[in-house]
Chain A
Amino acid sequence: MNAVALVKQVPDRNSAFRPAGDWIDESSLGYGINDYDRYAVEAALGLKEAGHAAETVAVTAGPADAGQVLRSCLAMGADRGVHLITDRAHLADPFFVARALANAVSGLDAGVVFAGLLAEDSGHGQVGGLVAGLLGYSFASAATGLHFRDGRLEAHRELEGGRIAVVELRLPAVVAVQTGINTPRYASLRGIMASRRKPVERIELAAPADGGGLRRLTLGRPERGASAEILPGSPQEAAAALVSRMRAGAGISFPGDAA
Chain B
Amino acid sequence: MSRRVLILAERSESGITDASYELIEAASRLAGGPDGVSAVLPVGDASEAEGLREVLPAGELLLVEGPAHASPTADGTAAAVLHAREASGAECVLLPHDPVGWDVAPLVAARLGTAAATAVSALSWREDGIAAKRSAFLGKFVQEVEAPGLPAVATVERGAFPAREPGPALSVRILPSPVGPGDLRSRLVEVRDAGAGGVDLTAADVVVAAGRGLGGPENLDIVRELANALGGVVGASRAVTDAGWLPHELQIGSSGATVSPKLYVACAISGAIQHLVGMRGSRFVVAINKDPDAPIFGAADVGIVGDALEVIPALTEAVRNSG
Contacts and interface: CB of A to CB of B under 8 A. Distances in A.
Nearest to A215: B146
B142 A129 contact: no
A134 B110 contact: yes
A159 interface: yes
Given A163-B193, A219-B143, A243-B318, A138 B185 contact: yes
Given A161-B258, A214-B117, A231-B302, A168 B187 contact: yes
Which secondary structure dominates chain B's binding surface?
mixed
A207 interface: no
A118 to B, nearest CB: 8
Which secondary structure dominates chain A's binding surface?
mixed
Contacts of A160: 98-99, 254-255, 258
Contact of A166 (B98, B117, B190, B255): B190
Interface residues of B, number: 101
B168 to A, nearest CB: 27
A160 B107 CA distance: 20
A133 B286 CA distance: 43
A255 B137 contact: no
A144 B256 CA distance: 12
Contacts of A255: 228-231, 323
Interface string B56-86: 0000000000000000011100100000000
Interface string A17-33: 10100001000000000
Interface size class of A (residues with CB under 8 A): 35 or more
A33 B10 CA distance: 35
A178 interface: yes
B141 A162 contact: no
Nearest to B256: A162
Interface stretch (A50-58, A62-70, A90-98, A187-195): A90-98
23 contacts: A17-B137, A125-B118, A130-B115, A133-B78, A133-B109, A139-B75, A162-B251, A163-B192, A166-B189, A213-B114, A213-B116, A214-B145, A222-B140, A223-B142, A225-B298, A228-B301, A229-B302, A239-B311, A252-B263, A256-B320, A256-B323, A257-B322, A258-B323
Interface of A: 13, 17, 19, 24, 93-95, 98, 117, 120-130, 132-134, 137-142, 144, 154, 157-170, 173, 176, 178-180, 183, 211-231, 235-236, 238-240, 242-247, 249-252, 254-258
Interface of B: 73-75, 78, 98-99, 102-103, 105-111, 113-119, 131, 134-149, 185-194, 205-206, 228-231, 238-239, 241-242, 244, 248-249, 251, 254-258, 261-263, 265, 283-287, 292-293, 295, 297-307, 310-311, 314-315, 317-320, 322-323
